[in-house]
Structure 1
Amino acid sequence: MSTAKAASKKRKRDASPEARFSLSVSEPGKTGPLVVSYPVIQPPDSTAFKCYSRKRSKTSKKDDEDEDLLVVGETNSVEFISNEDECKKVANAGCRYLFAVRNTRTGTISILPAAKTPHIFSHTVKALKSIPPSEAPSKLQYLEAKTALGESFGTKKQKANIRAQERNKIDVNAMEGVMKYVMDSIDKGAGGLLTEEASKEASDKNRLIPPFDTTATEPGDIYPLHDIIPEAEWKALSVSAFDAAQGDRERIAMLPFRKSTWVNDHLKALAGASGKTKKKNLKILLYISAMLAFRQATFTKSLDKEKLYERLEAVPNVVVDGLLSRFAEIPRGSSSYTSTSATKTSLLTHIFALCLKLDEFASNTATIAHDLSMAVTEVNQLFKSLGCKISKLGERERARRGLSDASADDKRAVLTAPVEFPKPRLRKKKN
């Protein structure tokens, strides 16, 4: 008997019609089924809901018809209404459902033509509607409540921080009577401050470089020659002995400082020249050599004037006196000259300014650094303080200065007009 029943049931399933899909036609004026979500409270199954349609604009589409609906329902104690903002968030997230109804008799599955967006409900308790909402606490009230909690339940460290903040707190009401005097004192103190132009002028004067002209349109006019070599010293220099010398070795032997590759190479290059330019460049080279010899003498603790005269016998005594007056100091309570870090830096920048004039304002810093036994980066930094930029020369610039292609990779300190000094670096604030 049980076998016969099983067979009959099997025959009935086999006899059921096959499923067929069809697209149903929505009737105008009818809403159809909706998808809703209850985030917090689930209403009873007997709760009745109604749909209300908002007034549609002319530009709205038919697809937005469900989004214009407002679904409302209520029980004896709670009201439910669809939340417009939450519904829009769900719709923008792409959450949609497609409805389908299956007719078990015919096997037809009818699919609704449009997907539905869920309606997210919010609820209101009827007994609480008459109670006005409490205002949000102010910042002062929040801090007072936080302090009270910290004093009651905080750790020792938190309580110590609370007491420290209270000690540092400023009583604004107590300041009302003295604010006028405070502002007057600030205005009085600000009266002695420098303007932007005066501050820039004072900063320029304190630079450890030769006097300069910021309005010069040619590199040769930025650092005037006689602001580096005073006219009295310039006139006292004599280079006639170099013309009478028989060779490069004899000419190099006449220099106060003979171990500079840069000076010796330039002296050899002037051997075949003639005229006023040669005499001028010879004087500059002689003065640079004297400055290098003077720098070597500053490595000692004190400078003996008589020994300097002997050491720099290739130049007149007036040059030695000038170097001592500009690049050395006499400490208080002493009678001998000494050199400081500021005077040493100033001496180097004066030397470099003269080097630029002989190098057509593009000096090879690596050669100069080797002569001075200094790091190339340190020498580059001093050239930058003169307003130079460290870069490689192009093919046209090398050809104009008579340089070979082998020097294409050499970086040089290039001075251009108008001069631009490096801006001070701003330090990053530490967190």
Structure 2
Amino acid sequence: MSKDQSGSSKRRKADSGLAINVSVPKPDTGASTPVFGLFPTSQPPAKTPFSIYTKSGALPNPKHPEPTVLAAETAEMEYESRNQMGVGMGGGQGESAGEGAGYSVQYMLGVHDPSANTLTLHAAPLHSFAPSIKSLKKFSSDSSAAELFSAQRATLGLAFGTKKAQRQLNAQERNKLNNESYGTGIASASLQSLLQSSIAASSSSLPTSIDVEHAANLSRPTIPPPNFDAVKPNDVYSISDVVTPSELATIDLGPLLSAPTFKDLNALLPFRRSKFISSHLRRLIPSRSSVEGSIPDPSKRDREKLNLVVHLSQLFAFRQATMGGRDSALERTKLQEKMTGASPAVVSALLERYTESQRMGNGEERRKMTGTTELKLLGYMLVVALKIDSWSTDVGVLAGDLGIGSKRVGELFRSLGCSLVTPSAEDCEKLIATRAAANKAEARKSKTAVLRTPLEFPKERRGAPKR
């Protein structure tokens, strides 16, 4: 066995039977040594140059071993070893050196020289690479770039800004919050516990989303106050919230019942161009006897509906006279004249309920129809119609009487909690028989608004509308 000056050697026999000198040289300071690279994903081109450096950025020193990093880059990718293996240029000796570098074994690279029959082993640390794409690095550094821009702007403001701007920058700097803004250690922990307990105590008294929704529906100005606990549709809306009993008591049914013909009867109404009102008058007032002087005598229930039909006619006439934002205060007398049969008390009640007060510069008070009060008038009219129709009424008929589209009237019915139902085959035949629809296609397009219990209002749409 022989030993040279550069390191130790051992003699082994080659395949030919001759002994092979094995040596493990110690690299000189600054000398390059081989390394192993592991690329689990993408590999760089074969001629890509790599650089080795320590965490401090200095070149490795075999006398002072420390973890090293191997790095390279191409036009599109960056390669950097993440495990920071390898100790110095020689990789260190012994198991403890390898373990301190982050791995439990040493890798050696052997170089065989056939002419001299020698095998030289060089320490070759293993570097595991995690490549990164250059074009994606800018997205991960947006926050740091924004902070740098903010700091640079603050520096310029403090150096060249006005006194007011400098005061604002100083105030912003003082008001910045960090991990130590509310103390450290026990003080910070106790404050955190206090905040959590106070938030829990305060949030326990907050109403639920259902309570908030019910409160909002109860306070909606365009519909009567609903009863969410109603079991029957007749109990959802109280008709006294729409029209008071004293207003209904002013309606005199005698002239209507004693009218000789339906044309004379219709002439006594405030509004005479409503198919809905005409059809219900024909149903509620029985056919006159052939005996001269015979006056129909409807039942108590039919008289109650007749009062509501006449009140609905008053609402139609009131809407026609005040729609479009007309000033109703100066036309009170004309309004009384247009609303045939309506008492002054009823006209005053309608003005109070469906218009808003405005005080002029001369101190005079005027009442005016606004967008909100017009919606309220429409909502209350539909409630009266539903009450007359036993909470199931045709949308198209009322849309024609109101002079607005069926879609909008359907939305108004939905706002009252109604469901829009498509007529069945039997209902379509009835519509054609009563001439409410000209054919089956038109009958299928018609909708019926039905109020059901438990009461449900349409949910509020959230998010951006679909395009």
Query: What is residue 173 of structure 1 aligned with on the other side?
Result: 180
The 2-side partners of 1:150 and 1:322 are apart by 65
Cα deviation, residue 345, structure 1: 0.9
Q: Which amino acid aligns with 1:133?
A: G
Contact 2:419/2:451 (<8 A) preserved: yes
Letter in 1 for 2:446: D
Partner of 1:374: helix, strand, or coil?
A: coil
Residue type at the aligned position of 1:320 = V
What do the CA deviations read for 1:272-300 (whole angstroms, capped 9, x no partner)? Answer: 37322332221111100101111112224
Aligned to 2:385: 355
Distance 1:427 1:264, change over 3 A: same
Q: Does the 8 Å contact 1:78/1:125 carry over to 2?
A: no
Q: Distance in 2 between matches of 1:303 and 1:297?
A: 8
Q: Which residue of 2 aligns with 1:264?
A: 278
Partners of 1:379 and 1:423 in 2: CA distance: 18
> Secondary structure at the residue paired with 2:180?
helix
> Structure 1: which amino acid aligns with 2:286?
G
The change in CA–CA distance for 1:189 and 1:311 in structure 2 (over 3 A counts) is farther
Q: Does 1:410 find its partner at 2:379? A: no
Correspondence 1:384 to 2:414: yes
Q: Is the 8 A contact 1:217 1:418 kept in 2?
A: yes
Give matches, 1:48-63, under 5 Å: none
SS in 2 for 1:336: strand
Q: In the alignment, what sits opposite 1:227? A: 241
Secondary structure of the corresponding residue to residue 335 of structure 2: helix
Given that residues 223 and 380 in structure 2 are in contact (C-alpha distance below 8 angstroms), is that contact kept between their aligned partners in structure 1?
Answer: yes
- Relative distance call for 1:327 and 1:403 in structure 2 (3 A) is farther
CA contact (8 A) 1:233 1:319 kept: yes
Question: SS where residue 379 of structure 2 aligns?
Answer: helix
* Per-residue deviation, 1:392: 1.0
For residues 333 and 384 of structure 2, what CA distance do their matches in structure 1 show? 27
The sequence identity of aligned pairs, in percent, is: 25
**Distance in structure 2 (CA, Å) of the matches to 1:233 and 1:278:** 18
Give the aligned residue type for 1:173.
E
Given the superposition, is the C-alpha separation of residues 366 and 402 from structure 1 closer, same or farther in structure 2, using an over 3 Å criterion?
closer
Where structure 1 has 5 or more consecutive residues not aligned to the other structure, the ranges are 1-45, 48-75, 87-123, 137-144
Structure 1 residue 306 displacement after superposition = 2.2
Q: Which amino acid aligns with 2:212?
A: S
After TM superposition, the score normalised by the length of structure 1 is 0.58
**In the superposition, relative to structure 1, how do residues 271 and 163 fare at CA in structure 2: closer, same or farther (>3 Å)?**
farther
**Where does residue 459 of structure 2 map in the other structure?**
423
Say whether 1:346 aligns with 2:370.
Answer: no
Task: Show CA shifts across 1:132-174 (max 9, x none).
Answer: 239x9xxxxxxxx98999999x8xx996378589989742322
Tell me the equivalent position of 1:253: 267
Give the deviation of 1:360 after TM superposition.
Answer: 2.7
Deviations for 1:241-277, whole angstroms, at most 9, x for unmatched residues? 1111122211111111112222223223334373223
Question: Matches of 1:348 and 1:149 in 2, distance apart?
Answer: 58
Q: Find the aligned partners of 1:416 and 1:425 in 2 and give their Cα distance.
A: 22
2:313 is equivalent to residue 289 of structure 1? yes
1:104 aligns with none
User: Which stretch of structure 1 is more off in the superposition, 269-278 or 294-303?
Assistant: 269-278
Task: Calculate the TM-score normalised by the size of structure 2.
Answer: 0.54
Equivalent residue, structure 2, for 1:202:
215
Which amino acid is the alignment partner of residue 358 of structure 2? P
Please, what is the CA RMSD of the aligned residues?
Answer: 4.6
CA pair 380-146 structure 1, distance change in 2 beyond 3 A: closer
Are 2:219 and 2:225, in contact at CA under 8 Å, matched by a contact in 1? Answer: no
Unaligned segments of structure 2, at least 5 residues:
1-13, 16-23, 25-32, 42-84, 104-127, 129-136, 155-171, 288-297
- Offset of 1:317 from its aligned partner? 2.0
Is contact 1:147-1:162 (8 Å) kept? no
Aligned pairs (5 A) from 1:153-168: 160=149
Which one-letter code corresponds to 1:342 in the other structure?
T
Q: 1:386, 1:421 within 8 Å by CA — same for their partners in 2?
A: yes
Q: Cα deviations across residues 390-419 of structure 1 (Å, max 9, x unaligned)? A: 121335777999976954542111111221
Question: Is contact 2:420-2:447 (8 Å) kept?
Answer: yes
Letter in 2 for 1:415: L
**Are residues 1:318 and 2:342 paired?**
no
Amino acid corresponding to residue 346 of structure 2 in structure 1: V
Using the alignment, how far apart are the partners of 2:376 and 2:286 within structure 1?
33
Change (3 A) 1:184 1:340: farther
- Specify the code of the residue in structure 2 equivalent to 1:217: V
Distance 1:148 1:292, change over 3 A: closer
Contact 2:393 2:450 in 1 (8 A): yes
Name the CA shift for 1:148/1:296 in 2 (closer, same or farther; >3 Å). Answer: closer
The DSSP-based 3-state class of the residue aligned with 1:367 is helix
Corresponding residue number in structure 2 for 1:330: 357
Letter in 2 for 1:326: R
Contact 1:365 1:411 (8 Å CA) reproduced = yes
Q: Distance in 2 between matches of 1:397 and 1:278?
A: 24
Q: Contact between 1:270 and 1:278, CA under 8 Å: does it hold in 2?
A: yes
**Within 2, Cα distance between the matches of 1:324 and 1:291?**
11
The code of the aligned residue for 2:314 comes to A
The SS at the match of 1:172 is: coil
Contact 1:209 1:386 survives alignment (8 Å): yes
- Write the distance in 1 (CA, Å) between the matches of 2:140 and 2:305: 83
Structure 2 CA distance for aligned equivalents of residues 358 and 252 of structure 1: 18
Other-structure match for 1:306: 333
How many residues are aligned here?
A: 305
Q: What CA deviation, in whole Å up to 9, does each residue of 1:358-407 have, x standing for no partner?
A: 22322221221222221222111111010001121335777999976954
Where is the helix percentage greater, Structure 1 or Structure 2?
1
Deviations 1:51-84 (A, max 9, x none): xxxxxxxxxxxxxxxxxxxxxxxxx99999xxxx
What letter matches 1:203 in structure 2? A
Higher mean alpha-carbon deviation, 400-409 vs 421-430, is at 400-409
Alpha carbons of 1:174 and 1:294: their partners in 2 closer, same or farther (altered >3 Å)? same
For residues 239 and 210 of structure 2, the distance between their equivalents in structure 1, rounded to whole angstroms, comes to: 27
